[in-house]
Chain A
Amino acid sequence: MKCDHCDKAAVVHEVTVKNGEKSEVHLCKEHAAAAGIAVPTDQPVNQLLTQLVLSGKTRSGAKAASPTCPSCGLTFARFRQSGTLGCPGCYDAFGRQLAGLIERAQCGATHHTGKTPRRAGGSIDRQRLIHRLVRELDEAVAAEQYERAAKLRDQLTCLERDDAPGPAESAG
């Protein structure tokens, strides 16, 4: 694709959705620099991947006010530019936005099922419990068992707040 201002190949492609209207800008390296846009030349591929996945989110995510991480002050908009989160707290602060992004980047995976730090003690069981509850919740929603789904969601919320009820209570 050519640059909007000359015949050179465009290296920066910006798609903006404002008030439901899409506009596109395509710039070569020089015109991008002139417009004050840094051209990523040696950007780690995982960041590019993040940006790619995020760009698919533009339509639904762009209009919402950009959330800010209370721990490090990073805004979600800033994360979208860099592809890098600011701190571990960003995962909570941007939980809703990140969930879809991560699910797409990770081929539909929504929960960790791998190694757990030894120091976290017992968290393997809790983690597996969460995983099972999520599956049960999906099944309940699919079967339109909303009362059961609401209970499962409450249990999940408790567990994810690290305010875990005992396994016997959660199994219901």
Chain B
Amino acid sequence: MKWSTNSAWLEQGPESDVVLSCRARLARNIAGFPFVARASDNQRAEIFNLSRQVLRQLDLGQDLLWFDLREAAANELMLLLVERHLISRHHAEMDLPRAVAITPDERVSIMVNEEDHLRMQFLAPGLQFEHALLEINRIDDKVESRLDFAFSSRWGYLTACPTNVGTGIRFSTMLHLPGLKLAKDIDRVRRAAKDMHLAVRGYYGEGSDSAGDFYQISNQITLGASEADILDAFSAKILPQIIAYERKAREVLVSKRSTYLDDRIFRAVGVLQSARIIDVKEAMKLLSRIRLGVCLGRLPDFELATINQLFLRIQPAHLRMMSPTPLRDEELSIARAAFIRKTLG
């Protein structure tokens, strides 16, 4: 796989001033086997082999690249996959036969032997959940034509954790909310999300903070409604409200605090174009301001897609992958600053 190519799901998409990306994920288990945590080594190996055989024959219109994570020369590739949101941190840290199948555009990734036998996801730029649902459903149909999934008429698709049972579907979206953060209105979003039974997490997923003013929002209810109804409750009701709040907060900044806003944006440009050493936290904080500036038309020389990619490519495993020589921890901040200077000109 060419890692130098940009991730398709970080391109510009609908509503991308606020919505970075959206994802539909299905949890599935192959009938006749225990769930991963309870399976024997032989059973895990069998699930691994069976999945490889089926996924290799899958016709998705493009290649599906198979990465055996036990062989993945080791941690560096796995960390790269985690940073690209193609596998979970949990999957990277497990110690058993496991793999991930990924399309070259990185929109499709299928984790094998994570918490469930298969975790299949479709990632798309901006807000296009209907597309993501159709695509993941198409993939599910294809896999299902070759594998029997554990299913019960009452509980639906049976998953290792009962909180995923039923449809096994999880929709999530990565939102950029610098306006609400500045207006100190994030708690309103959290409350609204909680009332709607949605989870709010940070950029890196579970347990992470809101680096770069990014927030991941996902549904928690997976049972008792069809996939389309779950999506409707999520994307048709609460998301437009959050997007509208964020845009309103940005409008207020432009109309009432424009000097303050520009000061933040142009200082961020100044620091990122000049810094020689920068850690990931500071870089993400300043890139968030630049992203806001681009979306508000304050920085016409920068492309939104370039800034989106930068969030990803300044992460440690990406910097290590791009470097011709191995980087020690203390050298990462230097490499990061250099890469940002080069990208922002």
Indicate, yes or no, whether A interacts with B: yes
A72 to B164, CA, bound (A): 20
Q: Which residues of A have CB within 8 Å of B207?
A: 42, 45
A87 to B141, CA, bound (A): 23
Which residues of A from 86 to 102 have beta carbons under 8 Å from B? 86-88, 91-92, 98, 101-102
Partner of A107, one of B93, B160, B224, B227: B224
Measured CB to CB, the closest approach of chain B to A158, in angstroms, equals 12
Partner of B162, one of A45, A102, A110, A120: A102
Any A CB within 8 A of the CB of B156:
yes
A114 to B140, CA, bound (A): 14
- Of all chain B residues, which has the CB nearest A98? B162
Any A CB within 8 A of the CB of B97:
no
Q: Are B164 and A115 in contact (CB under 8 A)?
A: no
A130 and B153 contact, Cβ closer than 8 Å, known pairs A45-B199, A84-B37: yes
Q: Are A130 and B154 in contact (CB under 8 A)?
A: yes
Q: Are A114 and B167 in contact (CB under 8 A)?
A: yes
A51 to B145, CA, bound (A): 35
Any B CB within 8 A of the CB of A85:
yes
Any B CB within 8 A of the CB of A46:
yes
Q: Are B160 and A111 in contact (CB under 8 A)?
A: no
Q: Are A74 and B38 in contact (CB under 8 A)?
A: yes
Any A CB within 8 A of the CB of B115:
yes
How many A-B pairs have beta carbons closer than 8 Å: the answer is 139
A120 to B162, CA, bound (A): 21
A56 to B222, CA, bound (A): 21
A102 and B206 contact, Cβ closer than 8 Å, known pairs A84-B37, A115-B137: no
Measured CB to CB, the closest approach of chain A to B70, in angstroms, equals 20
A45 to B89, CA, bound (A): 13
Interface string of A42-84 (1 = CB under 8 A from B): 1011110110000000000000000000011010000000111
A88 and B150 contact, Cβ closer than 8 Å, known pairs A49-B163, A110-B224, A114-B166: yes
Measured CB to CB, the closest approach of chain A to B276, in angstroms, equals 33
- Of all chain B residues, which has the CB nearest A156? B154
The majority secondary structure among interface residues of chain B is loop
Partner of A123, one of B35, B115, B153: B153
Q: Are A46 and B163 in contact (CB under 8 A)?
A: yes
Any A CB within 8 A of the CB of B192:
no
What's the tally of chain B residues with a CB closer than 8 Å to chain A? Answer: 50
Q: Are A86 and B34 in contact (CB under 8 A)?
A: yes
Q: Are A84 and B224 in contact (CB under 8 A)?
A: no
A165 to B81, CA, bound (A): 50
Q: Are B225 and A114 in contact (CB under 8 A)?
A: yes
Q: Which residues of A have CB within 8 Å of B167?
A: 112, 114-115
- Of all chain B residues, which has the CB nearest A119? B148
Measured CB to CB, the closest approach of chain A to B331, in angstroms, equals 27
A42 to B115, CA, bound (A): 14
- Of all chain A residues, which has the CB nearest B150? A88
Q: Which residues of A have CB within 8 Å of B141?
A: 118
Q: Which residues of B have CB within 8 Å of A106?
A: 163, 165-166, 221-224
A109 to B156, CA, bound (A): 12
Any B CB within 8 A of the CB of A159:
yes
Q: Which residues of B have CB within 8 Å of A127?
A: 153-154
Measured CB to CB, the closest approach of chain B to A131, in angstroms, equals 9
Q: Are B90 and A42 in contact (CB under 8 A)?
A: yes
Q: Which residues of B have CB within 8 Å of A113?
A: 224-226
Any A CB within 8 A of the CB of B185:
no
A50 and B149 contact, Cβ closer than 8 Å, known pairs A86-B35, A114-B166, A130-B154: no
Known pairs A42-B207, A87-B38, A118-B144 / 7 extra A-B pairs, C-beta < 8 Å: A50-B163, A85-B38, A88-B35, A98-B162, A109-B166, A119-B148, A162-B153
Using CB atoms and an 8 Å cutoff, list the residues of chain A in contact with chain B: 42, 44-47, 49-50, 71-72, 74, 82-88, 91-92, 98, 101-102, 105-120, 123, 126-127, 130, 159-160, 162
- Shortest Cβ-Cβ A-B pairs, 3 listed: A109-B224, A112-B156, A86-B38
